[in-house]
A and B are shown apart, each in its own frame.
Chain A
Amino acid sequence: MSFLVLDSLKKSFGQTQVVKDFHMAIEKGEFISFLGPSGCGKTTILRMIAGFETPSDGTITINGRNQSGLKTSQRNIGMVFQAYALFPNMNVFDNVAFGLKVAGMPKAQIEGRVKEMLKLIHLEHLADRYPYQMSGGQQQRVALARALAPKPQVLLLDEPLSALDAKIRVSLREEIRQIQRQLGITTVFVTHDQEEALSISDRIVVMNAGRADQIGTPSDIYNRPSTRFVASFVGTLNIIDALVADPAANTIRIGDNVIPLREPIGALKAGDKVSIALRPEAGSLSESAKGDTALTGKVVSSHFLGSVVRTKFEVGGNQISFDMFNAPDKVLPQPGETVTLRFAASDLLLIKD
């Protein structure tokens, strides 16, 4: 049986249902990210696991034990908050020791455990500092040590990197992942930052309007988005309106281009509308239009973005972006110029609405 099971979870605030029949099974030691826009229900699920919110329906089971009826303080869960939430009247040592003191651990053991935790986050030298004497990154590392000190069975991270600057965010997320691997603790991470989710998760749950649109590995989520929402939310993606050309041959038509699809079109008829996704980095410019996985159209604009050049061209009423790596002698495609983009058939994804 899975370690953390969320079964038929529902949550309503008044008339508004923010979590709709959510199911998920998380294995021990897994790092799961809940990714989605504001108001999609990801934080509500986290708060239900923590016990801050009571589910309207459904159950949460941790290590085979139903958490219904258990207070937050009885769940043995660690949590790191977006706003650090260190106790301002306590120094680093006392903050990390708080959970251990509350649990009634002997003083000598508390000291040992706190030192161990401070060593883990490389802040042994700041044990006497107060929160206001530390940077945001340091405070969040202390918050992580405080959450881990009582050896929780699950670690919840509620957008812990959102309040930090970009450089600290990258280094801290790597540190969090490394500590999580080292301790093997089951972790649920909530974020609206796709790069964060893609870089540190074992699996990602993409949430949309209270439901999980897709649950999968970062590679699955990025390369094989199953819905239009996932495709548009994770990374930059071209969503192309196409028509079924020949269902028997599994081909579609985009403007004058007829292209085969790797995925089966299914029960659709010729002329039916379909949505196709194509990543901007998937293709490359080609001199000739030979081959069946190519799109030819007129350039609308070219933008220099530093390491890449993003060019938009129009095909059958769709504006399609593609990226090329920058090079000093690169000549940018000019508006009005006809270009051909070649790609692999597997790069085209059939999108469910």
Chain B
Amino acid sequence: MKMTKFFAWLAIAIGLIYFFVPLLGTFEFSLRMRRGEYSFDAYDSVFSDVQFQQTFGFSILMALFTIAFGMLLVVPTAYWVRLRLPQMRPVVEFVTLMPLVIPAIVIVFGYLRLYNSSSYIPFTGSTFGTNVLLVMSYITLSLPYMYRSVDTAMRTIDVRTLTEAAEILGAKWPTILFKCIFPNVMSGVLSGAFITFAIVMGEFTMAALLNRPAFGPYLQLVGANKAYEPSALAVIAFAMTWLSMGLIQLVSRLSKMAPARSA
């Protein structure tokens, strides 16, 4: 029994060392910009860089659009599949899993072929069009996570009966969807939103190949040309991801509290 416990702790210790030592090393290195003493100069340098502010702001904007339009696509789809087309569930699940199987670079080359400036739908012919294409590509990339989080939240409520209850009280589809269903799957929507945010903020391939000033390509650019700033940026990127994951945990815990109280 004691030996089992020892090995369990050993496994945890190895795991922690594996994950945290490089991170601590990166963090420590990011503090050594000033010779002979630790400082936050690298972080100062990053935060005062106009390009950082622009790319960071651009990626946040793209993330917000991705979340908004992604949810407008995913929530009604998950709802409709659950309510009227349960036989289509395997097909929809397969489609939403495709972005995990097809590499981002293949998807973006597909986009460039389909939507280039000489095609019938020339998205890449203008900055606005390319931004739209970038949002659409982010939606594609985050589809597996968004769909699953929303679908899981829908599983916790009786979508069919709630819809029928609203319908017989005279409600029409927009009212049913936005007043009766959407608020009850908010935990799933928020979980999906945070994970989407984390994906978009760190994404490189799509933004780089569509030539948009996003945070991912900026990370690569700084990494190739500077010494201490890339480490500071890596720590910032990790902090953002962890913040998003923490918020997912918080939202899911808060949503679990309500049913627990009813038991």
List the interface of chain A (C-beta within 8 A of B): 50-52, 71-79, 81, 83, 85-89, 98-99, 102-103, 130-133, 143, 146-147, 150
B169 touches A150 (CB 8 A): yes
Nearest Cβ on chain B to A130's Cβ, whole angstroms: 8
Given A89-B184, A132-B262, is A81 in contact with B161 using a C-beta cutoff of 8 Å? Answer: yes
Nearest Cβ on chain B to A53's Cβ, whole angstroms: 11
Contact stretch, chosen from B11-19, B170-178, B246-254: B170-178
A81–B161 alpha-carbon span in the complex (Å): 8
Nearest Cβ on chain B to A146's Cβ, whole angstroms: 7
Q: Given B158, B169, B261, which contacts A98 in the complex, CB threshold below 8 Å?
A: B169
List of B residues within 8 angstroms of A143 by Cβ:
165
Q: Given B165, B171, B175, B179, which contacts A79 in the complex, CB threshold below 8 Å?
A: B165
Decide if B73 is an interface residue (CB 8 Å cutoff). Answer: no
B168 touches A72 (CB 8 A): yes
A134–B169 alpha-carbon span in the complex (Å): 22
Q: What are the 6 tightest A-B residue pairs by CB atom distance, in nearest-first order?
A: A132-B262, A99-B169, A85-B165, A89-B183, A85-B161, A102-B170
Q: Given A75, A81, A130, which contacts B165 in the complex, CB threshold below 8 Å?
A: A81
List of B residues within 8 angstroms of A79 by Cβ:
164-165, 168
List of A residues within 8 angstroms of B261 by Cβ:
132-133
List of A residues within 8 angstroms of B157 by Cβ:
88
26 of the cross-chain contacts (CB-CB < 8 Å) are: A50-B168, A72-B168, A73-B169, A73-B170, A73-B171, A74-B170, A75-B168, A77-B168, A79-B164, A79-B165, A83-B158, A85-B158, A85-B165, A87-B179, A87-B180, A88-B184, A89-B180, A89-B184, A98-B169, A99-B169, A103-B170, A131-B262, A132-B261, A146-B165, A146-B169, A150-B170
Nearest Cβ on chain A to B63's Cβ, whole angstroms: 26
Nearest Cβ on chain B to A129's Cβ, whole angstroms: 11
Decide if B222 is an interface residue (CB 8 Å cutoff). Answer: no
List of A residues within 8 angstroms of B171 by Cβ:
73, 98, 102
Decide if B162 is an interface residue (CB 8 Å cutoff). Answer: yes
List of A residues within 8 angstroms of B172 by Cβ:
73
Nearest-neighbor residue (CB-CB) of A149 within chain B: B169
Given A99-B170, A102-B171, A102-B175, is A133 in contact with B165 using a C-beta cutoff of 8 Å? Answer: no
A85 touches B162 (CB 8 A): yes
Decide if B107 is an interface residue (CB 8 Å cutoff). Answer: no
A99–B179 alpha-carbon span in the complex (Å): 12
Decide if B136 is an interface residue (CB 8 Å cutoff). Answer: no
A98–B165 alpha-carbon span in the complex (Å): 10
List 13 additional A-B contacts (Cβ < 8 Å) besides A81-B161, A88-B258.
Answer: A52-B164, A72-B164, A75-B168, A79-B168, A85-B165, A88-B157, A89-B184, A99-B169, A102-B170, A131-B262, A133-B262, A143-B165, A150-B170
Decide if B28 is an interface residue (CB 8 Å cutoff). Answer: no
Counting chain A CB atoms within 10 Å of each CB, the highest count among B157, B170, B184 belongs to B170
A72 touches B167 (CB 8 A): yes
Decide if B259 is an interface residue (CB 8 Å cutoff). Answer: yes
A76–B261 alpha-carbon span in the complex (Å): 35
A85–B167 alpha-carbon span in the complex (Å): 12
A98–B161 alpha-carbon span in the complex (Å): 15
Decide if B234 is an interface residue (CB 8 Å cutoff). Answer: no
Nearest Cβ on chain B to A232's Cβ, whole angstroms: 32
A85–B181 alpha-carbon span in the complex (Å): 12
